[in-house]
Structure 1
Amino acid sequence: MLHATPAAAEKRAAFRAGLNSGTLQRFPGAFNPLSANLIERQGFEGVYISGAVLSADLGLPDIGLTTIAEVSDRAQQVARVTALVDADTGFGEPMNAARTVQLLEDAGVAGMHLEDQVNPKRCGHLDGKDVVEMAAAVRRISAAVSARRDPDFVVAARTDAAGVNGLDDAIERAKAFADAGADLIFPGAMTGPADFEKMRAAVDVPILANMTEFGKSKLLDAPTLESLGVNLVIYPVTLLRIAMHAAGAALREIAGEGTQEGLLDRMQHRRDLYDLLDYQSYATFDQNIFTFSV
């Protein structure tokens, strides 16, 4: 039941504890609240809300077209589980970044990340992106850190500088972001283990690995990432890609065969959906309240 989930403060404290536990935290990307429930049911430590996935869900490319209202609305829908949210560049200048922090705090999520791209941004695995000067990026992070009201709300700093200016610049930015108060460093487009080793050696705060498919990074398994000192791994678009591939195949079969009969063994059964939605708890709650009499 929704009312039985931990409060936002508890989720934030648990997220911080997980980042500092020495155990890799695994956050698959949720594309809606139902997929977030499924991720939680499978025992993952939390979910990631990807800007690219939200854009795609709205039928838009990931080129900075989404708004803070759209991001905070989706974040609030998913926030019954521990969630880290992609807040792009903070949707403007430092004051916008500060407001973004407070809106996402109010949405109940555990943390967010800001990046150092020029606003409006581009997907980190696209060519042609650019980053702001380091001082401007540091101001974004400083504004976000100073604006939060819950000290357990995690402010993560993402740098896309490795793909623009090289790894050395990304490392210098990561160190500056940590000095500005960032709780977690998200180095974009790391090409392999050696990049993570260098980043891990450069900063004392936790670091994040983005294991997205068809991008610039080699896909590394969880034991390898943990051995490299990575604290959090996200799989931002995996579930959406799987779901859309399956949906496309199903639609082609219906169009060709005129029926979905041959798809039944590839569907989530009604009983499994009802179990995931916790129908029984809602029914019990309703019976206990609605039928109560003195």
Structure 2
Amino acid sequence: MTLNTLKARLAQPGLICAPGIFDGISARIADAMGFDALYMTGYGTVASHLGLPDAGLATYSDMVNRVATFADICRTPIIADGDTGYGGLLNVDHAVRGYEKAGAAAIQIEDQEFPKKCGHTPGRRVIPMEDMVRKIKVAVEARESSDFLIIARTDARTTLGLDEALRRGEAFARAGADIIFVESPESEEEMARICATIDKPLIANLVEGGRTPILPRATLEELGYRIAIFPGSGFLAAGTALQAIYRTILEEGSTAGHEESLYPFDAFSRLMGFERVWDFDKRNAA
């Protein structure tokens, strides 16, 4: 994957749909399906890697290592959640350099106070707009290539209202962010207003059960969104499937008769790259 792939795709028409990836299995499955981009979800990655809530508990080291793992697995460009930049301006500089070196195509930085919280949960507070503008300027200066995209997210809608969120989105665009992410609008009308106000590529964050309505692709395109991310879809689906098969094992003591609900073992082994191992063993048999 080259960095300019996502930037070049943004220059073309049509909505970019990016499913959430959160571990090596989800990354391999999504990467094989032909998406234009993938989204490394902070919520899912923290839950999968640490078994903890996405509440500022994961460190920069935790997350940049996940970025590197996913980028090594995937050919598809990865948009990576960078939380608040993990601290002050120097931390933002370090995070941007680290994410770019690790192989992400874009880093998302938000204006929440530390410790941050998932964008569709209550209790979020934001830093002063001027502080976030400085973070964005530092992020733009820190990257080595302009093909590595800076995504500026504001969580102001929930606590300070849509007008303040729009004011911040416009300021972040002027500061040099490549993509603007106004988190958790609460109606299609609010989404339309966001798209009509901010003259930059925009992200729609579609979280099943969250604050923002789940709209069809055609509607999102008509409104003016360029990227739709689906951060929770994968781990919510996986949670349902795991719970179902684990319940079967608990109640029946067997998976007999449930094979059709499971990914075929041979196909899964090939997905994980075992063919290379098998070929290597053949070539190097004693």
TM-score, structure 2 as length reference: 0.93
What is the aligned partner in structure 1 of residue 65 from structure 2? 73
Does residue 1:271 correspond to 2:263, yes or no? no
Distance (Å, rounded) in 1 between the aligned partners of 2:267 and 2:280: 20
What is the aligned partner in structure 2 of residue 125 from structure 1? 120
Q: Output the aligned Cα RMSD.
A: 1.6
Q: Secondary structure at the match of 1:43?
A: coil
Contact 1:39 1:46 in 2 (8 A): no
Distance (Å, rounded) in 2 between the aligned partners of 1:212 and 1:165: 21
What is the aligned partner in structure 2 of residue 233 from structure 1? 228
* Equivalent position to 2:24, from 33, 36, 44: 33
Distance (Å, rounded) in 2 between the aligned partners of 1:255 and 1:285: 38
- Range that drifts further, 95-104 or 265-274: 265-274
Does residue 1:61 correspond to 2:53, yes or no? yes
Shift of 1:286: 7.3
Unaligned runs of 5+ in 2: none
Q: Secondary structure at the match of 1:48?
A: strand
Q: Relative to 1, partners in 2 of residues 1:21 and 1:139: Cα closer, same or farther, differing over 3 Å?
A: same
Unaligned runs of 5+ in 1: 1-5
Shift of 1:17: 1.4
Does residue 1:16 correspond to 2:7, yes or no? yes
What is the aligned partner in structure 1 of residue 243 from structure 2? 248
Distance (Å, rounded) in 1 between the aligned partners of 2:280 and 2:4: 29
* Equivalent position to 1:107, from 86, 99, 102: 102
For 1:43, give the aligned amino acid. Answer: G
* CA deviations over 1:154-178 (Å, ceiling 9, x no partner): 1000001111111111111011001
Contact 1:63 1:123 in 2 (8 A): yes
What is the aligned partner in structure 1 of residue 218 from structure 2? 223
TM-score, structure 1 as length reference: 0.91
What is the aligned partner in structure 2 of residue 149 from structure 1? 144
Contact 1:20 1:206 in 2 (8 A): no
Taking only the aligned residue pairs, the percentage that are identical comes to: 35
What is the aligned partner in structure 2 of residue 259 from structure 1? 254
Distance (Å, rounded) in 1 between the aligned partners of 2:22 and 2:52: 14
For 1:241, give the aligned amino acid. Answer: L
Structure 1 runs (4+) greater than 6 angstroms displaced = 285-288
Q: Relative to 1, partners in 2 of residues 1:270 and 1:148: Cα closer, same or farther, differing over 3 Å?
A: same
What is the aligned partner in structure 1 of residue 86 from structure 2? 91
For 1:208, give the aligned amino acid. Answer: I
Distance (Å, rounded) in 1 between the aligned partners of 2:278 and 2:266: 15
Q: Secondary structure at the match of 2:259?
A: helix
The total of aligned residue pairs comes to 281
Distance (Å, rounded) in 2 between the aligned partners of 1:89 and 1:255: 41
Distance (Å, rounded) in 2 between the aligned partners of 1:168 and 1:121: 22
Contact 2:21 2:45 in 1 (8 A): no
For 1:259, give the aligned amino acid. Answer: S
Distance (Å, rounded) in 1 between the aligned partners of 2:61 and 2:164: 32
